[in-house]
Chain A
Amino acid sequence: DGGITQSPKYLFRKEGQNVTLSCEQNLNHDAMYWYRQDPGQGLRLIYYSQIVNDFQKGDIAEGYSVSREKKESFPLTVTSAQKNPTAFYLCASSIKRNNEQFFGPGTRLTVL
């Protein structure tokens, strides 16, 4: 079955540590996205990538970094510079022709 996987489902880290969230897709989509979700704020775009080896900042990129070395993979690193990293993180990929996005199950990050 085609889809998007994110791992782990739950992640706990100490303050000041960098942490990397995994996102893999086998839908053969060119574009991939990372969103942050906080209660009452909907989805906010962190980074997106249209093609391998290329990515752009979204609305809240500060304190985050990404890479896109393979079409299937778009890992997100939450760095120690992110002031409030505790949140639910969603990865998505899309069909170019109509912008429909397909979402992974999410990773809930808690920084202690």
Chain B
Amino acid sequence: AQSVTQLDSQVPVFEEAPVELRCNYSSSVSVYLFWYVQYPNQGLQLLLKYLSGSTLVKGINGFEAEFNKSQTSFHLRKPSVHISDTAEYFCAVSGAYGGATNKLIFGTGTLLAVQP
């Protein structure tokens, strides 16, 4: 089974500053990793995913994440945030063998609050 931890429930940051949202996972098998974004009263939208290959993954809206197997982490970064990036961000993990029985496990989310 897999689990995922997002230690920061809220991250305040000033506009145009860099940001890192932390995600750590545990698994006894290889994993797929995902970051989703949720704006208020909306569904979740995929930001980026790691399936295999390069450990640095680039996503939409200028976000990127790095898969670190030794530290079991998949932290999300952006070099310069905008007010419009204010949202809840969820990290998710599944075992790397596909199939609907292999469920996505979500973290509890991190609220990114960008201040002017």
Contacts and interface: CB of A to CB of B under 8 A. Distances in A.
A99 B109 contact: no
Interface of B: 9, 32, 34, 36, 41-46, 49, 51, 90, 92, 94, 98-104, 106-109
Interface in A27-61: 30-31, 33, 40-43, 45, 48-51, 58
A65 B98 CA distance: 26
Contacts of B51: 98
A101 interface: yes
B34 A103 contact: no
Contact of B100 (A6, A30, A42, A105): A30
A106 B104 contact: no
Contacts of A6: 43
Contact of A103 (B9, B45, B94, B100): B45
Contact of A96 (B92, B99, B103): B99
> B-side binding surface: helix, strand, loop or mixed?
loop
Contacts of B108: 40-42
Interface of A: 4, 6, 30-31, 33, 40-43, 45, 48-51, 58, 88, 90, 92, 94, 96-106, 108
- Looking at B41, B43, B51, B108, the one whose CB has the most chain A CB atoms below 10 A away is B43
> A-side binding surface: helix, strand, loop or mixed?
strand
A67 to B, nearest CB: 17
Contact of A106 (B43, B46, B92, B99): B43
Given A40-B108, A98-B51, A108 B41 contact: yes
Given A100-B46, A100-B49, A48 B100 contact: yes
Interface pairs A-B: 9 shortest CB-CB? A31-B100, A103-B43, A50-B100, A42-B108, A99-B94, A103-B44, A43-B106, A97-B98, A105-B43
Contacts of A100: 34, 46, 49
Contacts of B99: 50, 96, 99
B43 A98 contact: no
Contacts of B106: 42-43
